[in-house]
Amino acid sequence: MSETTTTSTVIPTRERRREVSMADVAAAAGVSGQTVSRVANGRTNVDPDTRQRVLDAMSTLGYRPNSAARALRSGRFRSIGVIMFSLSSYGNTRTLDALASMAAASGYSITLITVQSASQSDVSGAFLRLREHAVDGIVILIETHRLGENELALPTGLPVVVVDSSADYPYAVVDNDQAQGARLATEHLLDLGHETVWHVSGPPESFAAERRRNAWRAALEDRGCHVPDEQIGDWTAESGHRIGQALAADADVTAVFAANDQMALGVIRAFHEAGRAVPDEVSVVGFDDMPEAANFWPPLTTVRQRFERVGEEAMTALIADIEGTGREHARTLVPTSLVVRSSSGPRR
Amino acid sequence: MSETTTTSTVIPTRERRREVSMADVAAAAGVSGQTVSRVANGRTNVDPDTRQRVLDAMSTLGYRPNSAARALRSGRFRSIGVIMFSLSSYGNTRTLDALASMAAASGYSITLITVQSASQSDVSGAFLRLREHAVDGIVILIETHRLGENELALPTGLPVVVVDSSADYPYAVVDNDQAQGARLATEHLLDLGHETVWHVSGPPESFAAERRRNAWRAALEDRGCHVPDEQIGDWTAESGHRIGQALAADADVTAVFAANDQMALGVIRAFHEAGRAVPDEVSVVGFDDMPEAANFWPPLTTVRQRFERVGEEAMTALIADIEGTGREHARTLVPTSLVVRSSSGPRR
DNA sequence: GAGCCGGATGTTGACGTAAACATAACCCGA
DNA sequence: TCGGGTTATGTTTACGTCAACATCCGGCTC
């Protein structure tokens, strides 16, 4: 171990010291490599004594199977590729966390590829890189609205799960139930006596945004309410703030449903700045239930998405597909729930 | 949307179709496998005509190098292992994003392992799994306070970079300059005329929290200010809220420096609830500059950490180590900056 | 006791790649 | 004209693992 600091210690040039291989273990235990392989893979047809000898040799030498060789041999890597559109989205990050936990629990690791844009070339480039990396399956965590199906079609027969609200992929799809959540939020506000509900939506290219928007509109129409023009944001708090400034200037606005918590935060700030009290004059409801939402001022009423659950469902489906059990390409929707806090109140 | 029961299309049982290999390309191009290898690796000693023939054959057949075989042969995988303590921390997530981008730009992919706890067993288990996965280097993105050096010592000579504020690892260390940032925040509040500054710190086991705490204390002492008891939080907005309630009850408190933005949010909420105006009666400064901070109410004065930069530095150092250029085990500190918004103001 | 069965273990070869070495063709100066 | 030095290309082999097949041995049946 280098004595840390300075003296750019001529570290004994990290010699590409050969790792302990099966052959080494075999020699140490006095058996053949194949027997070591059998022990490593938990085969039953090995004499208990022999097995123990091999296990001892393994731990003495610090043997770890070389997964490159294993993958080359078997075509399996016990690795899952995840393609994400950067990590900026709060929800996707939590989903990724759940994916990673589930994968680890099943003995898989995660190979993460982020793409700068959801463009065709970026995504197919990511596919190609994953193919090189001998992953056993792929999770796509992107808003894929702008990608035609053909562009998503994989050249290889790899199992794929898409975490997205779109239907009609030839893959399994898992997502939070956006429509149900948006309806929950909208009806909550109507139930409080508001005549209608304004909507700050996510960007046009997002499927999730589209579903929330459609469900909001449907909920209003079902109750015979006027449907105000939608306000198009881009998920950021800044866009919420900008839109909020316009809404605050309109005295008719008494209830706003923002398509995520960040935009709700921006909207609330705009109302604060305009001197319109929340929730006394205007109610605001968000979507996501990020950890901070309970500490917004006022604490935010919002729709809780269960991202962890989505990640678990996606990984479970993918692993089932990889390991050959069940290959339904189903669409799984994880229900959301409304969390009522202080940013929404009865129409004055 | 309720067509959840998708017609479970009977997909033509994914046959493990052999991938196109070098041999296939070689046959198609009428050259030897070795020549294909040379072209694939961009060697110069190939006749332009031959090279073109090989490239044509590659694209016709859709050849992609098999990285398992490549790794087996060369001992390199062009993959970086990242060990993270879950993805819950906002900053670490952004750092990971930068790591992933940088890695991709250099032709590496990311193998992500999350650990449930920073315990010795979890972390060393993660090491072992990464070693199996033939990664070329490892980035550790955990608060490693509780881990002795010996526990972190890798059995293999793999290059390692630690993103943490600790010193004295036998590895390169990169982090935001916590001490400088905390001093910035504290002095900002003192400069506004506050007699002293209360501190809501991160948990004891966090190195970053410790550095911020020490710098806060040092800044106060340098100015001869009274050092109030520190308030120990756990990074969550809830803990900030709880502590904020206590602080709000103390009329002496006029300035609070919270060790992250979430706790600052909780503190501010507590002051709102207690009817103490921010910043008129109490100033609050956070740490991180998360994207939402500008839209808190009031917009939060905070210390901006450049997580992307940290990720870039870490990956640059790691790749340099992997590829043999420069092997100083330096400690890199990325400076932070103060972002003044509306949550801090002059002492009344 | 011959024949057979099955469990434990060993031997061979192949996965796709690339380093090391071998060969062949060509160029240039003496 | 020859020898030495390039440059382009081919051949062999090894990386670590594991499936397939081969072998060995003890025990059981008839």
The H or E element containing residue A327 is none
For residue A116, list chain B residues with Cβ-Cβ distance below 8 A.
101
Instruction: Name every residue whose Cβ is closer than 8 Å to that of residue A184 and which is 6 or more positions away in sequence.
Output: A303, A336, A337, A338
- Whole-number Å distance between alpha carbons of A212 and B186: 43
Model pLDDT, residue A151: 52
Residues 6+ apart with CB under 8 A from A8: B327, B328
Position A16 scores a pLDDT of 43
Residue A78 · residue A108 · CB < 8 Å = yes
CA of B264 to C1' of C24 (A): 75
Q: Could you read off the pLDDT tens digit of each residue along chain B, which spans 348 residues? A: 333 323 233 333 334 456 789 999 999 999 999 999 999 988 888 899 999 999 999 999 989 888 889 888 888 888 899 999 877 778 889 999 999 999 988 888 899 998 887 666 777 778 777 877 778 899 988 876 655 544 555 555 688 898 887 766 778 889 999 999 999 999 999 999 999 999 999 998 888 899 999 999 999 999 999 999 999 999 999 999 999 999 999 999 999 999 999 999 999 999 999 999 999 999 999 999 999 999 999 999 999 999 999 999 999 999 988 887 666 678 899 999 999 999 999 987
Closest Cα of chain B to A304: distance in Å? 17
- Sorted by sequence, the CB contacts under 8 Å of residue A136 that are 6+ apart come out as A76, A77, A78, A79, A80, A108, A158, A159, A322
- Output the pTM of the full model: 0.87
Closest Cβ opposite residue A16 in set B67, B75, B87: B75
Write the pLDDT tens digit of every residue in A144-161: 665 554 455 554 568 889
Quick: pLDDT tens for A19-60: 789 999 999 999 999 999 999 998 888 899 999 999 999 999
Q: Do B266 and A295 touch (CB under 8 A)?
A: yes
| Residue in B68, B111, B128 closest to A68 by CB | B68
Spatial distance from the CA of A61 to the C1' of C9 (Å): 22
CA distance B165 to B60: 51
Residue B77 with chain A: CB contacts under 8 Å: 68
Is the distance between the Cβ of B35 and the closest atom of strand D smaller than 7 Å? yes
A2 part of contact set with chain B, CB < 8 Å: yes
Number of neighbouring beta carbons within 10 Å of residue A230: 16
Helices B48-61 and B33-40: crossing angle in degrees, nearest 10, is 90
Q: Which range, of A109-113, A332-336, B114-118, averages the lowest pLDDT?
A: B114-118
Give the pLDDT score at B147.
Answer: 54
Indicate the SS3 state at residue A220: helix
Proximity of residue A32 CB to strand D below 7 A: no
Q: Is the pLDDT of residue A346 over 70?
A: yes
Supply the pLDDT for residue A64.
Answer: 87
List pLDDT tens digits, range A282-328: 999 999 999 999 999 999 999 999 999 999 999 999 998 888 766 66
**H-state helical runs in A163-285:** 178-191, 207-222, 237-248, 261-274
Q: What is the pLDDT of residue B4?
A: 35
